[in-house]
Amino acid sequence: MPPTGEELLEMDNDKLSRFEKFRRETYKEIDDILDTSEQDSGTIEQLFDPPPTGGHAEVPVGHPVVDQPPSPGVDGGHFVVAGMILAIAGVETVRAIRHTVDKWKGRHHAGDR
């Protein structure tokens, strides 16, 4: 006695009865399955393409990436300029004080005469 479908396919009765429904389609769709295989196997190949990796990040439309201007900050150049200004200001201050003192001394000596 040949094995039953349940024994042959190791399916329970419910699953086997659902599978049996594909018997009619097997014969009904022969030409369509052959035609689709021949015509669409190139498109079906796309399902096996690896997902794109690496490359550049996608930019959503309407949100262009714009380089931001550098944020203001203090660098070495700023310290050099500030140092020079302070030095000039210092020299000028010393010169002005000396000039004032000399002027005062001159008046004082003139008063002595």
Minimum distance of another protein from residue 59's CB (angstroms): 20
How far, CA to CA in Å, does 62 sit from each of 59, 65, 66, 67, 84?
9, 10, 12, 16, 48
Of residues 43 and 68, the one with the C-beta less far from another protein: 43
22 or 57: whose CB is closer to another protein? 22
For the bound state, the minimum distance from the C-beta of residue 2 to another protein, rounded and expressed in Å, comes to 9
Residues that bind another protein (CB under 8 A): 5, 8-9, 15, 17-19, 21-23, 25-38, 40-49
Structure tokens at 33: 């399955």
Q: 90 with 83: CB under 8 angstroms? A: no
Report in angstroms how near the CB of residue 34 gets to another protein at its nearest: 5
Report the SS3 class of residue 44: helix
